[in-house]
C-alpha cells in the first residue's frame, strides 16, 4: 500500500515518529468493526466486507512501519455431524460462543481477522448441517432477508418444549440459508 493511502486511511497528514500512535489509531479504527462482529448475527457476506476493511487497516499499519504479529488461536470445531436438530443447535451455540470469545480478545487486525474467519467457518458449517438435519421440512414461502437469522437459542427452547411454532422458525431459517446459497452459486 502506498504511504499516502495509508496516511489517508488513518487520517494522518504525515507519518508519526512513534509507532505506538499508529498502533493506537489502528485499534481505534478496528474497535467498531470488532463490536459489529460481537453484536450481529453471522452473515458471511456482510462479515467478509468488514474483514476487507480490517485488512486495509493492517496494510496501512505495515506501510507505516508497524510489524504484524501472528497470534495463536484456539480452534473452534466446525464439525457438525449431529443428526438430531436439538444436538446440532447446542453444538452450534457452543462453537459460536467460543468463536465470539476469540473475537472479543483481539484488536490486533491479523488476530481479529483469523478469529472472524473462524466465526464464518462455524456459521457456514452449521448452515450445511442445518439443511441436512431439516431436509424433511419445507422452506418458508415468504421473502426472507439474509440478515433475518433465526435465534437458535429460541429455536432450541421451542424444540425442547415440543412447541409447534418451532416448525415455522425451522422453515424460515431453511429459506434464509437457501437464499444465501443460491446467491453464492450465482456469483
CB 77 within 8 A of CB 95: yes
Residue-wise pLDDT tens digits, 18-53: 888 888 888 899 999 999 999 999 999 899 999 999
CB 96 within 8 A of CB 51: no
In the chain, where the domains are located: 3-186
CB 61 within 8 A of CB 109: yes
Long-range contacts of 162-167 (CB under 8 A, 24+ apart): 167/137
CA-derived radius of gyration, the chain: 20
More confident residue, 99 or 4: 99
CA dist 99 to 35, 103, 121, 153, 163, Å?
14, 6, 10, 16, 29
82, pLDDT greater than 90? no
77, pLDDT greater than 80? no
Interatomic CA distance for residues 98 and 102, integer angstroms: 7
Predicted structure pTM score: 0.86
Confidence of residue 71 (pLDDT cuts 50, 70, 90): low
Amino acid at each position: 500500500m502506498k504511504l499516502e493511502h495509508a496516511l489517508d486511511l488513518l487520517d494522518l497528514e504525515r507519518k508519526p515518529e512513534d509507532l505506538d500512535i499508529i498502533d493506537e489509531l489502528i485499534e481505534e479504527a478496528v474497535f467498531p468493526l470488532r463490536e459489529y462482529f460481537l453484536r450481529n448475527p453471522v452473515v458471511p457476506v456482510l462479515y467478509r466486507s468488514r474483514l476487507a476493511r480490517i485488512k486495509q487497516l493492517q496494510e496501512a499499519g505495515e506501510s507505516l512501519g508497524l510489524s504484524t504479529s501472528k497470534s495463536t488461536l484456539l480452534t473452534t470445531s466446525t464439525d457438525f455431524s449431529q443428526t438430531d436438530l436439538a444436538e446440532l443447535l447446542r453444538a452450534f451455540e457452543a462453537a459460536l460462543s467460543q468463536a465470539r470469545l476469540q473475537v472479543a480478545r483481539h484488536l490486533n487486525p491479523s488476530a481479529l481477522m483469523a478469529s472472524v474467519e473462524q466465526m464464518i467457518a462455524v456459521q457456514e458449517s452449521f448452515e450445511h448441517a442445518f439443511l441436512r438435519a431439516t431436509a424433511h421440512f419445507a422452506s418458508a414461502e415468504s421473502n426472507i432477508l439474509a440478515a433475518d437469522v433465526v435465534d437458535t437459542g429460541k429455536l432450541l427452547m421451542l424444540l425442547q418444549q415440543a412447541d409447534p411454532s418451532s416448525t415455522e422458525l425451522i422453515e424460515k431459517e431453511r429459506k434464509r440459508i437457501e437464499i444465501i446459497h443460491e446467491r453464492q452459486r450465482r456469483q
